[in-house]
Structures are given as structure tokens and as C-alpha cells.
A and B are shown apart, each in its own frame.
Chain A
Amino acid sequence: DAGVIQSPRHEVTEMGQEVTLRCKPISGHNSLFWYRQTMMRGLELLIYFNNNVPIDDSGMPEDRFSAKMPNASFSTLKIQPSEPRDSAVYFCASSYRGGSNQPQHFGDGTRLSIL
């Protein structure tokens, strides 16, 4: 039973470069979430989708961040241009929003370092 799959696991790039993080949710899940985790701020929700539609992007830090979900099995989080303060671990999670408060299932994250 495949869980949430994120790629790449690690990304190191120079500031100013475009970064694209990828996520494949669990098959059958209809909600997808992007989080950022840092020591200073803990786990922050960036954006989430229901049925491929962005519902709440109030957590997206600034216009340099964008997220898409072109279909039910794929989502991307893009940072352009990247800055050193974007360095963090980015998690994708998915859930089935049909029952009562179904738990979210997390991928193993992408560790992003912007030099």
C-alpha cells in the first residue's frame, strides 16, 4: 500500500533558482495539503486542495510560492525565485474528506536548502 510519495527527498540549490517540489497523494484521497517545517516556526500549513481545487492558500508566504494540482494524483509546489529563508522541510499530506475528520497521511518530505 503506497503512501504519499514526495520527490525529490533532498534539494540543494542557489538562491534565485526555481525549485519544484512534487507530490503523489494516496490513491482515492481527495484532499491534499502542503506544509513547511522549520525549527523556528514548527509545522505550517501552506495550502490545501479539495478535489484538485485550491481551498485555502492563506499560508503561502508570498507570491514567490505557487502550487498546482492538475489532477487527483499529482501536485507541485513551486518557489521562484528561491531565497535562503525558504530552506526548510516541505511535507505533502493527503486525506479522504468524506468521513468525519479523517486523518492526514504524510509523505517523508523534501529537505530544501537554498544557498
Chain B
Amino acid sequence: AQSVTQLDSHVSVSEGTPVLLRCNYSSSYSPSLFWYVQHPNKGLQLLLKYTSAATLVKGINGFEAEFKKSETSFHLTKPSAHMSDAAEYFCVVSEKKSSGDKLTFGTGTRLAVRP
């Protein structure tokens, strides 16, 4: 069975400082991993995905994530936070099954950005 743990439910940073949102996963197979962002009253938007190619994945809006198999981690980072980054972020693991791709969502990390 696969699972995702987002280690922090809330993270607060100052504008212009680095962002680190942590995610650990467990999976029986070689998983695909995603980060999604959800702004208020909006659906989830894909930030980036890892599908067994390069371990360092670059996404939209300056975000990137590094897949570390030895640590079973897929942490999301950004060098410099912007006010518009304030949102909820979900780490997602996907396993391919004969019946379809099964997604497991983390519980989310709410990012606050202080002026």
C-alpha cells in the first residue's frame, strides 16, 4: 500500500526567503510523485511531477522538488517566496495499476507568506 506524509500542516515564511515543504512517501513500486497547489476557492493545480526521469524536477512559478529514493522523500523548495505563493500544497503519490492510476494525497501544508 502506498502512503504520503506531509510533515508540516502549516509553514510560515517571510517574503523573499526560501520555502521548504516536506513530503515523505511509501510505495511498493516505483511511484510517480506530484506536487499540487490549491489557492482559496480553486481546484488543485499541478506544480510539478516526477516520473523516474531526472531526480531534480523543476515546476512552475520557480518551484522544484528532489526525489530521494534512499530517504523516500520528495520535498518541495523555492529559493525566494512571493506573496502569491500563499496557498495549500499537496504531495501526491501515484501507482500504476491495471485498473488505473491510483493517487494518494497527503493531508496538505498551508503556506503563509509574511510581508
A residues within 8 Å of B by Cβ?
Answer: 4, 31, 42-43, 45, 48, 50, 55-56, 91, 93, 95, 97, 100-109, 111
A8–chain B nearest beta-carbon distance, Å: 14
A51–chain B nearest beta-carbon distance, Å: 11
B31–chain A nearest beta-carbon distance, Å: 8
Is the Cβ of A48 less than 8 Å from the Cβ of B43?
Answer: no
Cα–Cα distance between A107 and B44 once the two chains are bound (Å): 8
Is the Cβ of B90 less than 8 Å from the Cβ of A97?
Answer: no
B36–chain A nearest beta-carbon distance, Å: 8
B97–chain A nearest beta-carbon distance, Å: 9
Is the Cβ of B101 less than 8 Å from the Cβ of A101?
Answer: yes
The answer, among A55, A106, A109, for a CB contact under 8 Å with B100, is A55
Cα–Cα distance between A106 and B42 once the two chains are bound (Å): 9
**B43-61 residues at the A interface, CB under 8 angstroms:** 43-46, 49, 51
Any A CB within 8 A of the CB of B74: no
**List of B residues within 8 angstroms of A102 by Cβ:** 101
The contact size tier of chain B is 20 to 34
Is the Cβ of A45 less than 8 Å from the Cβ of B44?
Answer: no
Nearest A residue to B33 by beta-carbon distance? A101
**List of A residues within 8 angstroms of B90 by Cβ:** 43
Chain-A contact segment, one of B14-22, B65-73, B76-84, B102-110: B102-110
Cα–Cα distance between A91 and B36 once the two chains are bound (Å): 14
B21–chain A nearest beta-carbon distance, Å: 16
Any A CB within 8 A of the CB of B94: yes
Provide 24 A-B residue pairs closer than 8 Å at the C-beta atoms, listed in order of the A residue: A31-B100, A31-B101, A42-B107, A43-B44, A43-B105, A45-B103, A48-B100, A55-B99, A93-B44, A97-B101, A100-B32, A100-B51, A100-B96, A101-B32, A101-B51, A101-B96, A102-B101, A104-B46, A106-B36, A106-B43, A106-B45, A107-B43, A108-B42, A109-B42
Cα–Cα distance between A100 and B49 once the two chains are bound (Å): 11
Cα–Cα distance between A93 and B36 once the two chains are bound (Å): 13
